[in-house]
Amino acid sequence: MKSRHLMLKLVSAAVLTALAASPVLAQTTGTTTTTTTTATTSHESVTLGNQFSTFAGSTTNSQSLVQGLRDGTAITLSEPVTTTSSTGVKTTTTVSTTFTPATGPMGYGNVKIALSLAEASLAKAGITDPTAAEMQAALNGGTLVLANGTSIKLDGILAARAAGEGWGQIAKAEGFKLGDVMRSPKADAHAHTHVKVERVEQAKGHDVDRPGKPEHVAKADRPERPERPNKPERPEHPDHTGRPGG
């Protein structure tokens, strides 16, 4: 009898222990899934941030660009600005520029294309180390004023995308082929070095009126054909003399 009661107690204890452990197992499984998803998202963001850190000026700026474009939220870019006082003392301060992308949230693939086209458009304009304001103009549109006082208007990669244009159309409007822009950075930089010089030269004469095409020279009139000389009149035939004896 005592053995039977002891057996029932042991079985009951085992059941209670199993029930108590079930929520813990369920909770552990859910936490593991969430952690994996977060790690994947961070990896993609970090990878793109590292890829465009040189273009953005710092890893912090590139991460802000990637995250802002990904979520469609405000982007803050910081850069050091050095000023010199009248006494020759140099002071360096950090200036921040904040703007909201013209598009809504987009996938990481589209983020990469947008930043690649923005970098290419600035390189074409002769700018390979852009300021925050120049990056904003490349993405949302604006006017770049060069050191010589001339200006270059940028339509904005994101502005064109927000207007409904495809990436291929946007690249073509900028003078590129999308496949060329998405090539390896080393090959792309070589192409931009040549375009950079050409673009800057064009900007120097931006305000000068381009000479118009020379007017077509009118075809010379054909010389009039000389009038044909009048045919000499034929001498009149003498009257037939009468036959003798007629």
Question: For 141-184, where are the alpha helices, taking DSSP H only?
Answer: 157-162, 167-173, 178-181
Extract the runs of DSSP E, i.e. beta strands, from the chain.
75-84, 90-99, 142-145, 151-154
- The CA–CA distances, whole Å, from 192 to 12, 130, 145 equal 77, 14, 20
Establish if 117 belongs to a structural domain. Answer: yes
Establish if 209 belongs to a structural domain. Answer: no
- Cα angle 190, 192, 198 (rounded to 5 degrees) comes to 120
Q: What is the domain extent for residue 156?
A: 26-204
Q: How many CB atoms lie within 10 A of CB 94?
A: 8
- Does pTM surpass 0.85? no
In whole angstroms, what is the distance from residue 64 CA to residue 109 CA? 16
Strands 142-145 and 151-154: antiparallel
Do 207 and 152 contact (CB within 8 A), yes or no?
A: no
- Residue 208: the pLDDT is 33
- Residue 128: the pLDDT is 85
Q: Is the CA virtual torsion 103, 140, 79, 92 positive or negative?
A: negative
Establish if 231 belongs to a structural domain. Answer: no
Establish if 100 belongs to a structural domain. Answer: yes
Establish if 21 belongs to a structural domain. Answer: no
Establish if 219 belongs to a structural domain. Answer: no
- Residue 162: the pLDDT is 95
Establish if 234 belongs to a structural domain. Answer: no
Reading the chain (246 residues) residue by residue, the pLDDT tens digits are: 555 555 656 556 655 565 555 554 444 445 544 444 444 457 899 999 999 999 999 999 999 999 999 999 999 999 888 888 888 889 899 999 999 999 999 999 999 999 999 999 988 888 888 889 889 999 999 888 766 777 888 899 999 999 999 999 999 999 889 999 998 444 444 444 433 323 322 223 333 333 333 444 444 455 555 556 556 566 555 555 555 554
Establish if 3 belongs to a structural domain. Answer: no
Domain count, the chain: 1
